[in-house]
Amino acid sequence: MTVLKGIEVAKAINEEIAEEMKGWEKPLPHLAIIRVGEKPDDIAYERGAMKKMDKVGFLVSSYIYKEDISNEEFLAEFEKINSNNEIDGILLLKPLPKQIDEKEVERRIDPRKDLDGISPYNMAKVYAGEKDGFAPCTAEAVIEMLDFAKIDLTGKRVTVIGRSLVIGKPVAQLLIKKNATVTTCHTKTVDMPSRCKEAEVLVAAAGVPKMVDESYVSEGTVVIDVGINVDEEGNLCGDVDFDSVAEHTSLITPVPGGVGSVTTSVLAKHLLSAAKMR
């Protein structure tokens, strides 16, 4: 059994970026992070993204707005950032407060700057299997981990638990693009453990703490845990009950220290691509 930590994968992506930046003569890639309010999760992700951009030598600016900003005011501020030619990519921290029309923001964002794949345009690109659209960073981080582990997905039986637009659906499409045979499980799936037990690769993205136990996996399954939850004792945990599942797997990712550690490196990779398009 191998425990694949995200730091190894992130390091490999960072090295790819460094190699591509050799001889770079254009303005440095520039990321705009947009945050509304003071949610601890948003602040933590913002700090992590800023730290990553600094590490790879990219520029980053934070745009922070009060929780009670009106929809009209926010859309006006967003448009200024969206149309700023000095900004290559945008990371919008969601969910936004209820008074803001989030769908309208998703429709307005420039697809070339939409690094986290929230626009209908980029979603369509992902579902069409095209290369020039940005997929959500977390979904792509799953693929980066599997690639790093040199797991050939061609013909593999892969089960994804979860069907959100952020992870479940896009990661299923990315897996299909890798020629995997994909099953998606969700809250209405009958006898989910049996369905998952058939998988050679299991991607857990349900958002339920430690839901996946040993009854969900067969011997030698590859398990990628995308969940980030807090257990009853206040500790970070994934969707997978690591202690009961790990011994049955050939490879498993931990939480914390797994997929989440790769997401900001994928964000940096997307930013570089956006800067190249500029």
Q: Is 276 helix (H, G, I), strand (E, B) or coil?
A: helix
What's phi and psi for 63, nearest 5 deg? -120, 110
Residue 130 clears pLDDT 90, i.e. is over it: no
Amino acid at 251: L
Q: What pLDDT is attached to residue 265?
A: 98
Looking at residue 79, what is its pLDDT?
Answer: 98
31 pLDDT above the threshold of 90: yes
Residue 231 is assigned to a structural domain of this protein:
yes
What is the arithmetic mean of pLDDT over 192-216?
Answer: 97
143 and 217 both lie in a single domain:
yes
Together in a domain, 172 and 255: yes
Mean per-residue pLDDT for 55-61?
A: 97
231 Ramachandran zone, left/alpha/beta (phi>0; psi -120 to 50): beta
The position carrying tokens 């697809």 is: 111
Residue 16 counted as domain residue: no
Same domain, 156 and 248: yes
> What was the pLDDT predicted at 129?
87
The pair of structure tokens assigned to 99 is 């008074």
Specify if 273 maps to a domain: no
User: What is the pLDDT at residue 156?
Assistant: 98
Mean pLDDT computed over 18-43:
95
145 and 252 in a common domain: yes
pLDDT at 216 over 90: yes
Q: What is the DSSP letter of 95?
A: S
Is the dihedral angle over the CA atoms 163, 168, 169, 175 positive or is it negative?
A: negative
Whether the predicted pLDDT of 175 surpasses 90: yes
In the predicted structure, residue 233 carries a pLDDT above the cut 90? no
Give the Cα separation of 260 and 263 in Å (integer): 5
Is 165 in the same domain as 62? no
Are residues 149 and 228 part of one domain? Answer: yes
Question: pLDDT value at position 14?
Answer: 97
CATH number of the domain that residue 141 is part of: 3.40.50.720
* Domain-embedded: residue 128: no
In Å, the largest CA–CA distance within the chain is 56
Residue 278: pLDDT band by 50, 70, 90 thresholds?
Answer: confident
CA neighbor of 10 nearest in space, from 227, 253, 242: 253
* 110 φ/ψ sector (left φ>0, alpha ψ -120 to 50, else beta): beta
Q: Is residue 248 part of a domain?
A: yes
Residue burial 141-178, b: 16+ Cβ < 10 Å; e: rest: bbbbbbebbebebeebebbbbbbeebbbbbbbbbbebb
Residues in contact with 57: Cβ distance below 8 Å, sequence separation at least 6, in sequence order: 21, 28
* 201 & 253 share domain: yes
| Range of weakest confidence among 105-109, 254-258, 274-278 | 274-278
Residue-wise pLDDT for 34-51, tens only, equals 999 999 999 999 999 999
Check if the beta carbon of residue 217 is closer than 8 Å to that of residue 197.
yes
- Local structure of 234: helix, strand or coil: coil
Strands 229-230 and 236-237: antiparallel
Tokens of 212: 């996946």
- Check pLDDT > 90 for residue 241: yes
In a domain, 7, yes or no: no
Model confidence at 234: pLDDT above 90: no
Does residue 147 lie in a domain region?
Answer: yes
Contact 275, 53 (CB under 8 A): no
Of 113, 114, 35, the closest CA to residue 69 belongs to 35
| 9 within some domain | no
Do 172 and 216 lie in one domain? The reply is yes
- The pLDDT, as a whole number, for residue 132 is 85
pLDDT tens-digit series, residues 137-165: 999 999 999 999 999 999 999 999 999 99
Residue 239 domain boundaries = 137-260
Tell me what percent of the residues of the chain surpass a pLDDT of 90: 95
Say how many domains are in the chain: 2
Q: Mean pLDDT over all residues of the chain?
A: 96
Residue 69 shares a structural domain with residue 181: no
Q: What is the pLDDT of residues 76-100, one digit of tens each?
A: 999 999 999 999 999 999 999 999 9
